[in-house]
């Protein structure tokens, strides 16, 4: 004759008095489990931070107390489940897999089995009850591990959703035209990113993949020309950020100017790639704004050069560049021959010869402030394009 479900439940239920026998062991056992976990799995112990250590300590203690209450009440404790979901979430947010936490559960199960079996044998508890106790310990630890998995997966989903919201917010902040203020506020709430008054924008020369985003920043790292936006009051060590990539970083701008800052940074990055600006690991956009402005429209620059330097090029098609450099230094130095010669690294005699050739072409122009300004722009564009800019 087979047993009824009620009879099976009665056989498989641990006696509630067993909770009173095991409860005095909990505090010492929790300390031993915690010590063993920290010894074998140091990444789960201190010094990640006081919150992390507290969570681990709380998880060990609550798992044991929860098991005792499971025996005493005959049902699992919701608080214990919540704690272990939080442990799983912590692992996800710390960028770790669940391997370490699962090892910790196995350590807890092993030490708990050993301690509770010893106590049970000392109290001469029947073998069948001890066997059931062992099964209950394993079932309890499995349930906790499953709660940790649930917490880990939930955090993964939340993190993906947050990443989507932050990418959307970044797009709204840097795309032109700038989104309405109400849309920005709504997107910022969803992204959990308070809108700062001022920001700094940076671009990299190629995708940066899995690099860590600067603290407090928004980023699109997978784009062909990755973009990062951070509040202006956040200190970022750009020299060490995104190793192996060249960066262009703007100065602080008002939040509503972020689209402009991104455009300037990308234009600066393009000039670096073309060899028109110095090739450095980090280029500060603010150091090159005149050059960025001057070279922002190539066709217009060529028109400017043709209009103001065409006569000079026609004068000496093969040797006009030294004359152009001398003319620029003439404008910059106020006509001081010695200063021009020092700047060009040539002799005063050569400078005088060039000035004699330039006087008929540009003498009158140099006496007109507006014409002189346009001529200087054309000359600066030439030396930038040819990579022969004079020293500041």
Domain ranges of the chain: 5-159, 197-294, 298-385
Task: Identify the pLDDT of residue 58.
Answer: 86
Task: Identify the pLDDT of residue 45.
Answer: 54
Which of 204, 357, 380, 367 lies closest to 288, judged by CA? 380
Task: Identify the pLDDT of residue 47.
Answer: 34
| Pair 288, 274: CB distance under 8 Å | no
Task: Identify the pLDDT of residue 268.
Answer: 95
- What would the pLDDT profile of 295-310 be if each residue is shown by its tens digit? 888 888 889 889 999 8
Q: For residue 230, is pLDDT > 90? A: yes
Task: Identify the pLDDT of residue 43.
Answer: 82
Task: Identify the pLDDT of residue 387.
Answer: 63
Task: Identify the pLDDT of residue 223.
Answer: 77
- What would the pLDDT profile of 125-165 be if each residue is shown by its tens digit? 999 999 999 999 999 999 999 999 999 999 999 989 998 99
Task: Identify the pLDDT of residue 336.
Answer: 84
| Pair 216, 166: CB distance under 8 Å | no
Which of 285, 335, 296, 333 lies closest to 304, judged by CA? 296
Q: Is the dihedral of CA 36, 23, 110, 71 positive or negative?
A: negative
Q: For residue 330, is pLDDT > 90? A: no
Q: What Å distances lie between residue 315 and 11, 323, 325, 359, CA to CA?
A: 110, 10, 15, 13
- As a whole number, the mean pLDDT across the chain is 86
Least confident of 82-96, 165-179, 210-224: 210-224
Q: Which fold has domain 5-159?
A: Globin-like (1.10.490)
Most confident of 90-99, 205-214, 218-227, 246-255: 246-255
Structure-token pair, residue 376: 């200087």
Q: For residue 9, is pLDDT > 70? A: no
Task: Identify the pLDDT of residue 75.
Answer: 65
Task: Identify the pLDDT of residue 151.
Answer: 92
Q: For residue 15, is pLDDT > 80? A: yes
Please compute the mean of the pLDDT values over residues 228-253 and round it to a whole number.
Answer: 93
| Pair 109, 139: CB distance under 8 Å | no
Q: For residue 201, is pLDDT > 90? A: yes
Task: Identify the pLDDT of residue 210.
Answer: 63
Residue 314 CA, chain-centre distance (Å), reads 53
Structure-token pair, residue 224: 């062909």
Most confident of 175-179, 183-187, 345-349: 183-187
Eight-state DSSP code of residue 387? T
> How is 95-156 classified by DSSP, letter by letter?
T--SHHHHHHHHHHHHHHHHHHHHHHHHTT--HHHHHHHHHHHHHHHHHHHHHHHHHHHHHH
Please compute the mean of the pLDDT values over residues 180-199 and round it to a whole number.
Answer: 95
Q: For residue 333, is pLDDT > 90? A: no
- What would the pLDDT profile of 39-79 be if each residue is shown by its tens digit? 999 887 543 444 443 478 888 998 999 999 889 887 666 67
Beta carbons within 10 angstroms of residue 135's beta carbon: 12
Task: Identify the pLDDT of residue 56.
Answer: 83
Task: Identify the pLDDT of residue 389.
Answer: 43
Most confident of 47-56, 71-80, 258-267, 325-334: 258-267
pTM score, two decimals? 0.68
The span from the CA of 210 to the CA of 371, in Å, is: 52
3-class DSSP state for residue 231?
strand
**Percent of the chain with pLDDT strictly greater than 90:** 50
Task: Identify the pLDDT of residue 12.
Answer: 54
Task: Identify the pLDDT of residue 392.
Answer: 31
Task: Identify the pLDDT of residue 93.
Answer: 82
Query: Using 50, 70 and 90 to split pLDDT, how confident is the model at 363?
Result: confident
């Amino acid at each position: 004759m087979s047993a009824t479900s009620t009879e099976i439940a009665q056989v498989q239920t641990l006696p509630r008095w067993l909770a009173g026998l095991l409860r005095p062991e909990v505090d010492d056992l929790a300390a031993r489990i915690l010590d063993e976990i920290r010894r074998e799995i140091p990444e789960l112990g201190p010094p990640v931070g006081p919150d992390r250590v507290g969570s681990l300590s709380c998880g060990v203690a609550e798992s044991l107390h929860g098991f005792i209450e499971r025996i005493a009440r005959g049902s699992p404790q919701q608080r214990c489940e919540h704690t272990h979901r939080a442990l799983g979430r912590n692992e996800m947010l710390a960028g770790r897999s669940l391997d370490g936490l699962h090892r910790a559960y196995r350590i807890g199960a092993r030490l708990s089995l050993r301690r509770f079996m010893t106590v049970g044998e000392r109290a001469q508890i029947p073998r069948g009850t001890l066997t059931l106790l062992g099964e209950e310990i394993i079932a309890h630890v499995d349930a906790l591990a499953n709660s940790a998995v649930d917490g880990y997966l939930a955090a993964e989903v939340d993190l993906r959703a947050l990443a989507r919201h932050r990418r959307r917010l970044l797009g709204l902040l840097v795309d032109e035209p700038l989104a309405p203020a109400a849309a920005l506020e709504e997107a910022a709430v969803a992204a959990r990113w308070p809108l700062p008054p001022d920001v700094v924008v940076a671009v990299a020369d190629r995708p940066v993949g899995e690099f860590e985003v600067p603290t407090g920043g928004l980023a699109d790292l997978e784009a062909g020309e990755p973009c990062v936006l951070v509040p202006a009051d956040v200190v970022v060590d750009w020299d060490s950020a995104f190793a192996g990539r060249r960066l262009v970083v703007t100065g602080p701008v008002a939040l509503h100017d972020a689209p402009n800052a991104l455009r300037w940074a990308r234009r600066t990055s393009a000039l670096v790639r073309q060899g028109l600006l110095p090739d450095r690991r980090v280029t500060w956009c603010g150091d090159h704004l005149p050059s960025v402005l001057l070279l922002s429209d190539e066709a217009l620059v060529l028109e400017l050069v043709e209009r103001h330097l065409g006569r000079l090029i026609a004068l000496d098609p093969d040797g006009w560049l030294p004359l152009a450099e001398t003319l620029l230094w003439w404008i910059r130095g106020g006509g001081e021959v010695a200063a021009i010669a020092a700047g060009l690294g040539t002799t005063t005699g050569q400078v005088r010869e060039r000035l004699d050739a330039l006087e008929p072409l540009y003498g009158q122009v140099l006496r007109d402030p507006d014409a002189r300004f346009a001529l200087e722009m054309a000359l600066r564009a030439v030396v930038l394009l040819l990579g022969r800019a004079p020293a500041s």
